Amino acid sequence: MTLDRRTLIGSLATMGALSPFLALESAMAQVTADPAAKAADAHMKLMSVPGLVMHGNEQVVMLLYPGFTALDLVGPHYFFASMMGARVHLVSTGADLAPVPSDLGLAIQPTMTLAQAPRDPTVVFVPGGTTGTLDAAEDPALRRYLRDASARAQTVVSVCTGALVLGAAGLLRGRRATSHWVARDTLAHFGATPVDARVVTDGKIVTGAGVSAGLDLGVAMVAQLRGRPYAEAIMLQAEYHPEPPFPGGTPTTTPAPIAGPMRDMFAPFVDRALRLPVDP
Amino acid sequence: MTLDRRTLIGSLATMGALSPFLALESAMAQVTADPAAKAADAHMKLMSVPGLVMHGNEQVVMLLYPGFTALDLVGPHYFFASMMGARVHLVSTGADLAPVPSDLGLAIQPTMTLAQAPRDPTVVFVPGGTTGTLDAAEDPALRRYLRDASARAQTVVSVCTGALVLGAAGLLRGRRATSHWVARDTLAHFGATPVDARVVTDGKIVTGAGVSAGLDLGVAMVAQLRGRPYAEAIMLQAEYHPEPPFPGGTPTTTPAPIAGPMRDMFAPFVDRALRLPVDP
């Protein structure tokens, strides 16, 4: 009798009949007698991976203003906040700690106001949006904070149209930068050279393309701050191997009857962006 | 003299000297004398795209519990909330409307409590997390709401380990489903057949893989609710053509010295997941 349990399970599995049971066996194999000890041992093993900087003390300032796009911010936040030891501050441009509403009605609770924000952050991050972003770019207190903090920050970061706020603060002059495809060419208004890329690094300025580019930028930022192995660990934790169900996401890969009107819908945004102030 | 302005600009552009000025010209070309009229016209054009359902009245319930992973929820939220006419409710499992903290310290303001949530939503959505998700799966009131609402909902959706909450509510029995790679095999504990895919649809149950899979799931959900052209429009708005800076994001594409310990770090989570209750 050679048909032991494993052989039986194997032959039934090829029939697709036992997959839930095999999966359960696989899940249970992950757990030893002492799961906590296994986890602690794993932590030590990760710490010994060459090039992986497990602990740090970065101060990351992520700005919240009314009408920001939540996904612009929450993508990078996942990566920043997953770095052990990093402190991520959600900084409201408002006068108090009231939740700040996004353009799509999702409000996030700030952890401090602009007046309380660190003057020497490791990273300053500005999300994008539409009307709210243009209002933010016209806010002298925000632009003053950005100019001041960026003088000492290691990296100044934007996703999407957040680049326009950096531009209005005079931080993109002479830089290569990117933004949401709708607004990319307006970066020239701020003295920047627009680049069609997912993430653009020029000195201490790191800019991302529209909305979802914040995830690619998040990975790139962790690699910059903690080394590529740490970024690979967080990518795995985020299960970041994207597979959009069908092509699209750029003006050239979207059917023209959709891409054309989508661009035109933002004409009022572009019109106003081109009239934003630009600090010296 | 054949060197007109366009020729001059063209030849200088090949030298890379004038790209900011060309970009500005391009940006200004987007704006007509009346940007608002252009946008209104674009809206009409989009409405005439075959298969694009511009207006709807979906009721989308997105659950918030302490310790949820913000990116699990904010990815799909972007897509749901971008559907014109859809009402997205951020529903706290708590007793009041206090902001609900995520596992990484980002708190989102709910718009209603579970007691106030619609009993007949179009979509019910559950995000994942780690310890907080296991606590949520052990919350009888949440499981009761899910069982009740799912009887009438068009679609019941999870991202990441949110699938374990659906499983505990007895909603995955006999279904094909996915979850975060760490937890995928535990779905068998709930009577499901685990599937290694980015998004799995089985009847009215739609489950997504870990964290970042919420964006792929968001696109798929818009396509289901409003047709593929609308999903293509929102993909373009989100500039969703992801380009991770290097490979990774799965146990097999991550270097083994990182992937192994990362799996082991979640042994306590898997251990507890396999002891969750499963409603009949």
What does the DSSP assignment read for chain A?
----HHHHHHHHHHTTSSHHHHHHHHHHHT--S-HHHHHHHHHHHHHTSTT-------EEEEEE-TTB-HHHHHHHHHHHHTSTT-EEEEEESSSS-PPEEBTTS-EE--SEEGGGS-SS-SEEEE--BSHHHHHHHT-HHHHHHHHHHHHH-SEEEEETTHHHHHHHTT-STT-EE---TTTGGGGGGGT-EE--SSEEEETTEEEE-STTHHHHHHHHHHHHHH-HHHHHHHHHHTT-----SSS-SSTTTS-HHHHHHHHHHTHHHHHHHTT-----
Question: What is the predicted pLDDT for the residue at B8?
Answer: 46
Closest chain A residue to B90, measured at CA:
A106
CB atoms < 10 A from the CB of A76, how many? 31
Closest chain A residue to B233, measured at CA:
A258
With cut-offs at 50, 70 and 90, classify the pLDDT of residue A101: very high
CA distance A130 to A219: 25
Assess B57–A contact: CB distance below 8 Å, yes or no: no
Give the mean pLDDT of B178-199: 98
Pick the CATH number of B59-242+251-273 from 3.40.50.2020, 3.40.50.880, 3.30.300.30, 1.20.1250.20: 3.40.50.880
Question: What is the predicted pLDDT for the residue at B26?
Answer: 79
With cut-offs at 50, 70 and 90, classify the pLDDT of residue A32: low
Assess A252–B contact: CB distance below 8 Å, yes or no: no
A11 touches B223 (CB < 8 A): no
Contact A255 B232 (CB under 8 A): yes
Assess B248–A contact: CB distance below 8 Å, yes or no: yes
Question: What is the predicted pLDDT for the residue at A10?
Answer: 46
Whole-Å CA distances, A33 to A43, A132, A144: 18, 53, 57
Which residues between 133 and 172 in chain B have a beta carbon less than 8 angstroms from any beta carbon of chain A? 160
Annotated catalytic residue B160: yes
Cβ contacts from A onto B, under 8 A: 368
With cut-offs at 50, 70 and 90, classify the pLDDT of residue B256: very high
A273: exposed, middle or buried (Cβ count in 10 Å: 0-12, 13-18, 19+): buried
Amino acid at position A88, single letter:
V
List of chain A residues whose C-beta atoms are within 8 Å of the C-beta of residue B21 = 188
Q: How many angstroms separate the CA of residue B197 from the nearest CA in chain A?
A: 10
A207 touches A200 (CB < 8 A): yes
Question: What is the predicted pLDDT for the residue at B9?
Answer: 45
H or E stretch including B74? helix B70-81
Question: What is the predicted pLDDT for the residue at A69?
Answer: 98
Residue A67 confidence (pLDDT) above 60:
yes
Contact B264 A27 (CB under 8 A): no
Assess A199–B contact: CB distance below 8 Å, yes or no: yes
List of chain A residues whose C-beta atoms are within 8 Å of the C-beta of residue B26 = 185
List of chain B residues whose C-beta atoms are within 8 Å of the C-beta of residue A213 = 239
pLDDT tens-digit map of A155-187: 999 999 999 999 999 999 999 999 999 999 999
Q: At residue A108, what are phi and psi to the nearest 5 degrees?
A: -110, 140
Contact A210 B239 (CB under 8 A): yes
pLDDT tens-digit map of B103-142: 999 999 999 999 999 999 999 999 999 999 999 999 999 9
B166: exposed, middle or buried (Cβ count in 10 Å: 0-12, 13-18, 19+): buried
Residue B12 confidence (pLDDT) above 50:
no
Q: What is the mean pLDDT of chain A?
A: 92
List of chain B residues whose C-beta atoms are within 8 Å of the C-beta of residue A237 = 210-211, 262
With cut-offs at 50, 70 and 90, classify the pLDDT of residue A123: very high
Assess B219–A contact: CB distance below 8 Å, yes or no: yes
B22 Cβ neighbours under 8 A, 6+ residues apart? A188, B9, B13
Question: What is the predicted pLDDT for the residue at A33?
Answer: 72
Q: At residue B168, what are phi and psi to the nearest 5 degrees?
A: -65, -30
Contact A23 B108 (CB under 8 A): no
With cut-offs at 50, 70 and 90, classify the pLDDT of residue B18: low
Residue A1 confidence (pLDDT) above 70:
no
Domain range list for chain B: 59-242+251-273
CA distance B85 to B81: 9
B5 Cβ neighbours under 8 A, 6+ residues apart? none
Q: Which of A141, A149, A185 is nearest to A164 (CA)?
A: A185
Assess B261–A contact: CB distance below 8 Å, yes or no: yes
Grouping H, G, I as helix, E, B as strand and the rest as coil, residue B68 is strand
Closest chain B residue to A199, measured at CA:
B245
Q: How many residues does chain A have?
A: 280
Q: Of A54-58, A95-99, B96-100, B165-169, which gets the smallest average pLDDT?
A: A54-58
Q: How many angstroms separate the CA of residue A258 from the nearest CA in chain B?
A: 6
List of chain A residues whose C-beta atoms are within 8 Å of the C-beta of residue B268 = 35-36, 38-39
Report CA torsion sign: B157, B158, B162, B168.
positive
Q: Which of A141, A145, A147, A177 is nearest to A162 (CA)?
A: A177
Question: What is the predicted pLDDT for the residue at B101?
Answer: 98
CA distance A199 to A218: 10
The model carries a pTM of 0.92
pLDDT tens-digit map of B56-97: 999 999 999 999 999 999 999 999 999 999 999 999 999 999
Q: How many angstroms separate the CA of residue A240 from the nearest CA in chain B?
A: 4
Q: Which of A57, A64, A162 is nearest to A111 (CA)?
A: A64
Task: Please tell me which residue in B62, B108, B149, B160 is annotated as part of the active site.
Answer: B160
CA distance A56 to A105: 34
Please list, residue by residue across A142-168, b when 16 or more beta carbons sit within 10 angstroms of its beta carbon and e when fewer do.
bbebbeebbeebebbbbbbbbbbbbbb
User: What residues of A act catalytically?
Assistant: 160
Give the mean pLDDT of B158-176: 98
Contact A235 B257 (CB under 8 A): no
Which residues between 69 and 98 in chain B have a beta carbon less than 8 angstroms from any beta carbon of chain A? 69-71, 74-75, 77-78, 81-82, 88, 90
Assess A209–B contact: CB distance below 8 Å, yes or no: yes
For chain A, what is the largest distance between any 2 Cα atoms, rounded to a whole number of angstroms?
86
List of chain A residues whose C-beta atoms are within 8 Å of the C-beta of residue B248 = 231-232, 235-236, 240-241
Question: What is the predicted pLDDT for the residue at A184?
Answer: 98
List of chain B residues whose C-beta atoms are within 8 Å of the C-beta of residue A39 = 264-268
The label of the residue with tokens 């770090």 reads: B265
Q: What is the mean pLDDT of chain B?
A: 92
A54 touches B265 (CB < 8 A): no
Question: What is the predicted pLDDT for the residue at A22?
Answer: 81
List of chain A residues whose C-beta atoms are within 8 Å of the C-beta of residue B202 = none
Higher pLDDT, A275 or B18: A275
Q: Which of A185, A201, A241, A218 is nearest to A71 (CA)?
A: A218
Q: What is the DSSP string of A189-201?
A: GGT-EE--SSEEE
Which of B26, B228, B264 is the closest to A42 by Cβ?
A: B264
